[in-house]
């Protein structure tokens, strides 16, 4: 019985080694084993998912872990090599059946990988037909369940549509914040913020008799007109108007959605930009937020449409339903806006704060050198890197200007790694100008003191 359990454990780890190495190395050393060769049917021999590094990872894992379990190195290497051979056989068959590389076929994906290593194990361990059959069935069930769990946690399909780096750490944070919203462990894994904000901080403001006034302040949202001048602004975009809304936190304070809708509904602008943080909580369900966002987008009159990025409170699963309502998300991506012969590039990156999924190199890859570009980011944290890519305008939020400021001192907390001169209002860094909004809504405790929530109306002007 013990040898059967050891074999199962070893074979599952051999099976896991190639995809795990792919996550760690990404595109490095990713040479297809078949070198792109195609047979007479026009289909790949194996497909680009079967790489030299993956096969070597499986074989080395078998030899190393087998030896650590007390087996001869040759037995472990044989198990690893035959498991990889079974995997390659599966890929060969699937290509002949017309299945795309990376597709899943339950049963076919597991049987060869589990059956061929038995050619080594059966004579070594003197296993009979019944134990061998049971072992094979257990391997197939475990390998299929493991493959499903691995894909669900680390290879979220919704994220594949967008230009972002799917690191294991990123997927864990997404899983904790979004995918397990209805899981019974959700309150336990996310209890830290509830204790700090909803128990300690709210209680403190109530004891000081400031809570009611702070909530009233938070609902007093203003429209902030800002005019920015650029010598190299394309002539056709002179007097171009942008409505900038960020940190809405639409479920954080009752009435915030109604207040912002009333503020922006009378406006007619060229472009509307959303800077992320559509919900107030860092985890849990967000269906109410989606409904309120849809109503808000419907109330906005923007000639060139509405574009958005994600913030540290957001889930990538929010994107498809909001895109159906007219919002276009820029996830490490860029869009070209055209006026006659002139062009302005709108660039957006994923959250650089909590998820750290931003990729400016990818985002600016389509932007021509010297083009006038506006960068939309959730927080000011990557201001210096943005300047190195030639961004002319950097729009962000996240800080709420501290949300609570002390007279003569300023914000106690900014939740940003950027210097304090970048946490509120208009600023400059080299040739790049920036604006950090105080945000529409509130985060944590729903109060404001010394700050005012804002929708920002930006007017671009060509400096003569």
> Tokens 């190639």 appear where?
18
At 284, list the tokens. 């849990």
What's residue 344's pLDDT?
Answer: 97
User: Per the domain annotation, does 171 fall within a domain?
Assistant: no
Q: How far apart are CA 442 and CA 204, in angstroms?
A: 17
Domain of 287: which CATH number?
A: 3.60.21.10
Q: Which of 155, 180, 206 is the last residue of a domain?
A: 155
Q: Which of 128, 155, 182 is the last residue of a domain?
A: 155
What is the domain count for the chain?
A: 2
Q: Which of 130, 155, 180 is the last residue of a domain?
A: 155
Q: What's the number of CA atoms in the CB half-sphere (13 Å) around residue 198? A: 10
Q: Which of 142, 173, 168, 143 is nearest to 155 (CA)?
A: 168
What is the domain range of residue 428? Answer: 195-462
pLDDT, averaged in runs of 10, over the chain (464 residues): 74 81 71 81 78 87 86 87 87 80 72 84 81 80 71 54 64 68 48 53 77 93 97 97 97 94 97 96 84 95 97 90 93 95 96 90 93 97 96 97 90 89 96 97 91 97 88
β-strands 240-245, 454-462: how paired? antiparallel
From the CB of residue 212, how many other CB atoms can be counted at a distance below 10 Å? 11
User: Per the domain annotation, does 183 fall within a domain?
Assistant: no
What's residue 191's pLDDT?
Answer: 47
User: Per the domain annotation, does 229 fall within a domain?
Assistant: yes
The model scores a pTM over 0.85: no
Instruction: Examine the domain organization and report whether 221 and 124 are in the same domain.
Output: no
β-strands 342-348, 410-411: how paired? unpaired
What's residue 424's pLDDT?
Answer: 96
Instruction: Examine the domain organization and report whether 238 and 319 are in the same domain.
Output: yes
């Amino acid at each position: 019985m013990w040898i059967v359990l050891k074999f199962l454990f070893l074979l599952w780890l051999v099976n896991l080694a190639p995809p795990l190495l792919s996550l760690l190395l990404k595109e490095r050393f990713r040479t297809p084993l078949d070198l792109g060769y195609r047979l007479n049917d026009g289909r790949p021999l194996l497909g680009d998912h079967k790489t030299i590094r993956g096969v070597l990872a499986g074989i080395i894992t078998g030899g190393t872990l087998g030896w650590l379990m007390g087996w001869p190195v040759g037995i472990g290497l044989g198990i690893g090599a035959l498991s990889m051979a079974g995997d390659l056989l599966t890929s060969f068959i699937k290509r002949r059946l017309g299945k795309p590389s990376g597709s899943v076929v339950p049963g076919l994906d597991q049987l060869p990988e589990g059956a061929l290593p038995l050619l080594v194990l059966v004579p070594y361990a003197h296993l009979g037909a019944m134990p061998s059959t049971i072992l094979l069935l257990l391997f197939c069930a475990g390998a299929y369940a493991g493959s499903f769990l691995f894909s669900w946690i680390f290879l979220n399909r919704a994220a594949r549509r967008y230009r972002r780096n799917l690191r294991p750490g990123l997927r864990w944070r997404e899983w904790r914040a979004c995918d397990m919203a209805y899981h019974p462990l959700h309150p336990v894994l996310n209890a830290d913020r509830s204790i700090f904000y909803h128990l300690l901080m709210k209680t403190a403001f109530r004891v000081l008799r400031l809570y009611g006034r702070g909530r009233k302040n938070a609902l007093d949202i203003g429209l902030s007109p800002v005019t920015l001048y650029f010598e190299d602004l394309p002539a056709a975009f002179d007097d171009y108007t942008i409505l900038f809304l960020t940190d809405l936190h639409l479920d954080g304070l009752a009435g915030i959605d109604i207040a912002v809708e009333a503020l922006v509904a009378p406006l007619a602008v060229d472009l509307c930009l959303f800077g992320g943080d559509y919900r107030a909580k860092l985890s849990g369900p967000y269906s109410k937020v989606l409904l309120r966002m849809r109503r808000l987008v419907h109330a906005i009159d923007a000639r060139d449409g509405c574009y958005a990025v994600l913030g540290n409170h957001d889930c990538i699963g929010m994107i498809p339903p909001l895109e159906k309502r007219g919002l276009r998300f820029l996830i490490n991506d860029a869009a070209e806006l055209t006026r006659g012969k002139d062009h302005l590039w709108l660039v957006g990156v994923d959250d650089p704060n909590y998820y750290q999924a931003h990729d400016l190199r990818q985002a600016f890859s389509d932007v021509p050198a010297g083009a006038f570009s506006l960068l939309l980011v959730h927080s000011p944290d990557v201001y210096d890197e943005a300047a190195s890519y030639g961004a002319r305008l950097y729009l962000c939020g996240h800080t709420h200007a501290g949300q609570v400021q002390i007279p003569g001192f300023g914000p106690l907390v900014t939740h940003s790694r950027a210097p304090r001169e970048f946490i509120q209002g208009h600023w400059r860094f080299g040739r790049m100008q920036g604006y950090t909004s105080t945000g529409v809504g509130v985060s944590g405790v729903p109060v404001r003191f010394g700050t005012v929530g804002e929708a920002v109306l930006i007017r671009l002007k060509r400096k003569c």
